Structure 1
Amino acid sequence: MIGYRVKSLREERKMSISELSAKSGVAKSYISSLERNLQTNPTILVLEKIARILCINVDALLNEQADKGMDEEWMEIMQDVMGAGISKEEMREFIEDRK
């Protein structure tokens, strides 16, 4: 089930396995095995890495009923933020400064 969710979410985001692998730091072969349900017991660390790149919570990978994540525009913005190397702490500071 987790593999199906990873593949489905990755494809929704028009992302290749290679791209997900490069951005998450999880081996391409591992992601492929996960998506084909050959690997059925990934660690939380692996799920966190994948979920971060897919802009979702780990819960969304584990539970089909969980929040499906952000809309596409927010997802693109967050990917731009991560690509620019902005940390979570910097984002929190930015948000706090705006309040």
Structure 2
Amino acid sequence: MIGERVKRYRKEAGMTLTELADKAGVAKSYLSALERNIQTNPSIQFLEKVANVLGLSIDYLLKDQVDNVSIVDEDIDKEWVNLVQEAMNSGVSKEEFRDFLEFNKWKMKQK
């Protein structure tokens, strides 16, 4: 069920229910009801918000198994995915990550 998958991915991301609800901008009570399978028909918009915070495609929340057609499965090894997820979970913004990449490119040119 969707709620069980949300809970599993939330825990894998090391987030509490409150953290996920706050970051996704959704009601904690609704998220809790979903994870406990009391609420079983969430909107696509709700799932998109949650999936974005968890760094997932919405497919991971909707399906038991996701087809191997995503860029993550085909082109990026699991270690890179985990590093990006860790950066996201630690609060690194996209802009900060881009700044780091630009700095690193500049640094490499200096050598």
Q: TM-score range by the shorter chain?
A: 0.7 to 0.9
Which residue number in structure 1 is paired with residue 54 of structure 2?
Answer: 54
The answer as to 2:73 corresponding to 1:73 is no
Give the C-alpha shift of residue 46 in structure 1.
Answer: 0.1
Any stretches of 5+ residues in structure 2 without a counterpart?
A: 73-77, 106-111
Give the whole-Å Cα distance in 2 for the aligned partners of 1:73 and 1:39.
32
Output one character per residue of 1:10-61: Cα deviation in whole Å (capped at 9) or x when no partner. 0011100000011000110001000000000000000000000000000110
Spell out the pairing of 1:6-85 with structure 2 (5 A cutoff): 6-66=6-66, 71-79=81-89, 80-81=92-93
- Higher CA-based Rg: 2
Structure 1: which amino acid aligns with 2:93?
V
Amino acid in structure 2 at the alignment position of 1:26: V
Shift of 1:74: 1.2
- Aligned Cα RMSD in Å? 2.1
Which ranges of structure 1 fall in alignment gaps of 5 or more residues?
none
Cα distance in structure 1, aligned partners of 2:11 and 2:86: 15
Aligned counterparts of 2:29 and 2:82: Cα–Cα separation in 1: 27
Segments of 4+ moved more than 6 angstroms = none
TM-score (norm 2): 0.68
Among all aligned residue pairs of Structure 1 and Structure 2, give the percentage whose two residues are the same amino acid. 46
Distance in 1, Cα, partners of 2:49 & 2:56: 10
